[in-house]
Amino acid sequence: MTDEPQLRLAEGRRLLDRGELDAAVRILGPLTGHPDADLAGEAWLSIGQARYRQDDEPGALAAWQQAADSGGRAAWVGWRSVAEQLVRDGHLEDAIAAYREADKRAPSGERGAIANRIAWLLKETGHDFAARRQFNRARGPYATYAAWVTWAIIAINLLVFGIDVVLTGGGTLSLGFSSGGTGPLGEQLLIFAPAVAAGEWWRIIGSAFVHLGVLHIAFNMYALYLFGPILEQMYGHVEYFVMYLLCAAGGSVLTILIDPQQVAGGASGAIFGLFGLAFVVTRRHHVATTRQARALLSQVGVLLVINLVLTFTPGLNISWTGHVGGLIVGGVLGFILPPQHVETLATMFRGPSGERLTRPMPVVLRASVYLVMAVLLVAGTYVAVLRVPAFG
């Protein structure tokens, strides 16, 4: 074995990769006193990884602290590793201090992630004001995200409404919230249990694209414009689209189950589902967001309460079954499925080798959740239509 430092470091890392941990520590040990701070720091980092894999967490913490104190290029990684171990040990205040040291030395591309970790730890330790300031330092992903699905859904709603306006010569332009009626196209899409029993299953989804007045569509599209892009970024285009359709179907299915003679339409069932999704996912999975997105998401609980009060207010002619059905579906999906396109508290922390401590949910499992939800909604529809006579 050569004594040339770089080759010794490479050999130590090779042994580490092969799982020969004691041998790696023996090879790397002499490098820890090398006058080259970069070399010594890298050696301490690798020794820390070896000790961690040997379940010697105190030894690993000591080695990473040595790497942090080395002053070389690896010092920021040492401080980050120290912070992550302190989190695992439950010493959150000390972990915040270590992350701050890492932030001072880290490359610019790493500072956003570190800032987010500091912010979450501040929030967990009750420093809410400091956490808000720290979140503002973290670079967010939402500003440049193209929410194509949200824009397409809004466009389809406006198109359906516009077609009925033309077909009725403006007869559907009532300024009432839900008293404007529909035109020929809307009549073919409204949810109505006897029509579904007659085989018109497209109404389960199609009713989410029909609106009964200018204010009705204006309020729904504005809510979708505000919250849709945030959730679409969290889950990606495909999953978000599936979630939206399932929430829409949830409102329709509960309507024909509970009140089969009700005729209803509107995107509000799907939007209530998005509200439920946003409320649950932010509290269960603790997503890292931008300041603007965080401000909106923080209002979801209040919006839910206000809209539920309005939903059950007599005289407003609002389909409570549509709202509650969508809300249940969105809440269940948000509880089970963590977002995969943004950082969450669980995905921020890494092991000593940089690997995520929490693995993403397998694609097959995620798809199974959507499939089970779809099957339940189909089953609910089948039960509902068996209880009503077909019309036509």
Over 199-211, what HEC string results? CCCCHHHHHHHCC
Give Cβ neighbours of residue 132 (< 8 Å, ≥ 6 apart). none
Q: Which residues, including other chains, have CB under 8 Å from residue 130's CB and lie 6 or more apart?
A: 122
The CA distances from residue 150 to 157, 230, 311, in Å, are 11, 10, 24
Q: pLDDT confidence of 381, banded at 50, 70, 90?
A: very high
Domain 5-137 coded CATH 1.25.40.10: yes
For the segment 181-193, the average pLDDT, to the nearest whole number, is 89
Per residue in 227-265, pLDDT tens? Answer: 999 999 889 999 999 999 999 999 999 999 999 999 999
* Four-residue CA torsion sign, 304, 252, 239, 370: positive
Chain-centre distance of CA 228, in angstroms? 12
- pLDDT value of residue 195: 93
Indicate the average pLDDT of the chain.
86
Residue 189 has pLDDT above 90, yes or no: yes
- In degrees and rounded to multiples of 5, residue 173 shows phi and psi of -90, 30
Predicted pLDDT at 139: 45
pLDDT in tens, 331-371: 999 999 999 877 776 666 655 555 555 677 889 999 999 99
Share of the chain above pLDDT 70, in %: 87
Please state the rounded mean pLDDT for residues 113-139.
76
Burial class (CB in 10 A: 0-12, 13-18, 19+), 347: buried
Can you tell me the distance from the alpha carbon of 154 to that of 158, in angstroms, rounded to the nearest whole number?
A: 6
- Contact call for residues 203 and 192 (beta carbons, < 8 A): yes
What φ, ψ does residue 350 adopt, rounded to 5°? -120, 155
In percent, the amount of the chain with pLDDT more than 90 equals 49
- CATH among 1.20.1540.10, 2.30.110.10, 1.20.1260.10, 2.170.190.11 for 148-386: 1.20.1540.10
**By mean pLDDT, which of 26-30, 130-134, 201-205, 209-213 is the weakest?**
130-134
Residue-level pLDDT at 108: 67
Domain boundaries, the chain: 5-137, 148-386
Q: Are 5-137 and 148-386 the same fold in CATH?
A: no
Which pLDDT tens digit goes with each residue over 71-122?
A: 888 899 999 999 999 999 999 999 999 999 998 888 866 777 788 788 888 8
Give the pLDDT mean for 54-61: 92
